[in-house]
């Protein structure tokens, strides 16, 4: 609940890694004891180990540099603990006693705008590792979302929820053997087939225009206007959104393209689009949908009009559709990929770039749900980029899991809301923010694929990712 607090005993990753090294024979017992003695003081506590226990006397054979298992790793740990127990500088205490004896500290808020979901040890262990890497985290997490929605909609027995919890556990998202992976997929498919009802196919009716939907083409720009919306699409850049207005929210476009030269800083001298995808294979040129496209219009009843085009790429075609809901002033973007060849890389799409002239830089913020009460993160003077690579092996620094499928960007007066469909594609979200003199850059994107040491090549044939945009005061 909002305002809840939790007492914390801090776990020191340096301490538990030193104990691991001792167990593996890479660190002498005297060295570890001398290091721990540097923390010895009345009332001071040190959590000597807070890592995995199953790693001792066992190796999963993931890395070429893994030390050979030497019998007696638990025996080394036993000898260390006995030595500490007889050393007058130390005393073993229960966690409850450690909490009782520690002085009360000020309350801390661990999360920040730059790191909304704090993780253990190192940035490489961010949410993307379990959301959009692995063998096919996106597909299996999307299936889990569909199952969860189906269970919530009915009086499901505890056994179904327990099975979903097992299938959604992190152990199936990283390193896993072929046999275990095959068994996992069978269990996941069986549960989904049993609890998720078939989804009906909605028929669409053709409609090119009407009194509330006016299209106008001027060169390479296609303009749309209705009573509540105004949108400009760039036909030379794959139907990228040049500008989007919600007329009852602002007389300026809230999102769109920032053309080359918008910022004085040469490192930001590029075109920043809205509504496109970028696929970046490691060590290769990126693939995008920013190429000339001739769209066609279709309708879905009297209140919705669609703009659709197909973009050819090196890996296969990509269908791109914009749907404009006139009654709800909702703009939806859908990408459908026909890429049959398995590949590895980052696939980031649905980029939403704020137009800085429409917002107050001093009150910028974003808001989302991270599994509990919605959280608001105020953007200050420090910039960050969740999509920045940690290393050549790990493609992202941080991510938002979007378990509830929404993210809001804006200031104290205006908000743009991004909504996704986790049961269709459980994408993660990433933000890039850069404050500048008298202006700023703020963009959100969805990530369908990232890579790290757990990543396996996967095909994207039929992958469909959708997001919708609304705005409010």
pLDDT value at residue 204: 44
Taking Cα atoms as reference points, which of 332, 336, 325, 320 lies closest to residue 468?
Answer: 332
**pLDDT at residue 163 tops 90:** yes
Tell me phi and psi for residue 88, to 5 degrees: -65, -15
Can you give the pTM of this predicted structure? 0.87
Q: Dump pLDDT digits (tens) for 168-223.
A: 998 898 888 899 999 999 999 999 999 999 876 554 443 444 556 789 999 999 99
Residue of 302 and 208 predicted with greater confidence:
302
Q: Please report the DSSP string for 322-347 in residue order.
A: EEEETTTTEEEEEEEEEEEEEE-SEE
Percent of the chain with pLDDT over 70: 92
CA distance 124 to 66: 19
Q: Dump pLDDT digits (tens) for 234-246.
A: 999 999 999 999 9
- List C-alpha distances in Å: 240 to 321, 325, 348, 424: 11, 18, 14, 23
Q: Dump pLDDT digits (tens) for 311-359.
A: 999 999 999 999 999 999 999 999 999 999 999 999 999 999 999 999 9
pLDDT value at residue 35: 95
**pLDDT at residue 464 tops 70:** yes
**Mean pLDDT across 442-449:** 98
CA distance 17 to 419: 41
Q: Dump pLDDT digits (tens) for 61-78.
A: 655 555 566 668 999 999
**Which of the four pLDDT bands, split at 50, 70 and 90, describes residue 108?**
confident
Q: Dump pLDDT digits (tens) for 134-159.
A: 999 999 999 999 999 999 999 999 99
């Amino acid at each position: 609940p909002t305002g809840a607090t939790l007492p914390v005993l801090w776990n020191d990753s340096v301490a538990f890694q030193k104990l691991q090294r001792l167990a593996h024979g890479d660190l002498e017992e005297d060295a570890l004891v001398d290091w721990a003695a540097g923390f010895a003081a009345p009332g001071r506590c040190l959590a000597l180990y807070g890592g995995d226990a199953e790693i001792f006397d066992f190796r999963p054979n993931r890395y070429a540099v893994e030390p050979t298992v030497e019998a007696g790793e638990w025996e080394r740990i036993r000898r260390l603990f006995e030595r500490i127990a007889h050393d007058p500088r130390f005393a073993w205490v229960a966690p409850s006693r450690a909490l009782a004896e520690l002085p009360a500290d000020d309350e801390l808020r661990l999360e920040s705008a730059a790191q909304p979901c704090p993780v253990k040890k190192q940035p490489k262990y961010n949410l993307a590792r379990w959301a959009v890497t692995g063998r096919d985290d996106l597909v299996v997490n999307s299936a889990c979302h569909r199952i969860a929605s189906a269970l919530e909609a009915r009086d499901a027995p505890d056994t179904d929820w327990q099975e979903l919890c097992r299938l959604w556990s992190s152990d199936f998202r990283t390193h896993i053997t072929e046999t275990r992976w095959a068994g996992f997929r069978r269990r996941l498919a069986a549960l989904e087939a049993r609890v998720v009802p078939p989804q009906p196919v909605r028929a669409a009716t053709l409609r090119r225009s009407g009194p509330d939907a006016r299209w106008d083409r001027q060169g390479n720009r296609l303009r749309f206007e209705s009573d509540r919306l105004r949108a400009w699409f760039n036909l030379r850049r794959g139907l990228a959104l040049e500008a989007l207005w919600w007329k009852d929210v602002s007389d300026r476009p809230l999102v769109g393209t920032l053309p080359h030269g918008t910022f004085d800083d040469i490192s930001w001298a590029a075109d920043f689009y809205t509504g496109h995808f970028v696929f970046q294979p490691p060590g290769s040129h990126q693939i995008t949908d920013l190429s000339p496209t001739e769209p066609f219009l279709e309708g879905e009843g009297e209140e919705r009009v669609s703009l659709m085009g197909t973009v050819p790429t090196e890996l296969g075609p990509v269908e791109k559709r914009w749907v404009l809901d006139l009654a709800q002033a909702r703009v939806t973007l859908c990408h459908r990929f026909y890429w049959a060849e398995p590949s590895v890389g980052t696939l980031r799409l649905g980029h939403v770039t704020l137009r800085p002239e429409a917002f107050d830089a001093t009150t910028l913020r974003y808001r989302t749900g991270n599994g509990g009460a919605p959280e608001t993160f105020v953007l200050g003077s420090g910039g960050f980029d969740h999509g920045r690579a940690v290393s050549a092996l790990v493609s992202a620094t941080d991510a938002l899991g979007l378990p509830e499928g929404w993210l809001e960007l804006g200031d104290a007066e205006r908000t743009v809301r991004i909504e996704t469909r986790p049961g269709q594609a459980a994408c993660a979200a990433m933000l890039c923010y850069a404050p500048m003199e008298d202006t700023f850059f703020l963009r959100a994107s969805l990530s369908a694929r990232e890579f790290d040491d757990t990543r396996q090549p996967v095909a994207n044939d039929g992958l469909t990712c959708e997001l919708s945009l609304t705005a409010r005061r």
